[in-house]
Amino acid sequence: MRQVLEIVVESDPHLSVVGTASSAESAFTVVDETSPDVVLMDLDLTGMDGIAATRALAVRHPLVRVVILSASCSRALVTDALAAGAWGYFVKEGSPTELLRGIHDVHQGQRALALSARALVTA
C-alpha cells in the first residue's frame, strides 16, 4: 500500500514524498530529519497506534500537519484523531483525487475529511 500511496502523491506535481516509515519511532525520525509540511499517518503502526503517534508528533513538531489514512472509519476513530491533533482523515479505499485535494487543503491550513468521515462527525 505504501508504494501505491507514494505513486499517488508523486503524481501531483505540487507534492513530493520526503520519507516513509512503518513504525511510529521511524516516523518521528523521518519527520525530525526532513521537516515535512504534511504527514500521512496510518492508524495501524508498529509499536504505537496512529492516534498516539499523531498526539506525540503534534507535541514534537507543532507546525507539521497530520492527515490520517486508515482502512477503518468510525465516529470514534475520526473524533479521536482530530482530538489528537490530526488535520485530516481519509480512508485507504477512497478516491486518490479526494486524498490529494485533502492534502492540499491541509497544507493550506484547512481541516479536511473524506466524505465518509465528514458524514460521521457532522451527523
Residues 50-77 pLDDT 10s: 999 999 999 999 999 999 999 999 999 9
pTM across the whole model: 0.93
Is residue 41 within 8 Å of residue 83, measured between CB atoms? no
Q: Is the pLDDT of residue 123 over 70?
A: no
Give the pLDDT band (50/70/90) at residue 121. confident
Query: Residue 47: its pLDDT value, please?
Result: 85
CATH classification for the domain delimited by 2-112, as one of 3.40.50.2300, 3.40.50.300, 3.30.465.10, 3.50.50.60: 3.40.50.2300
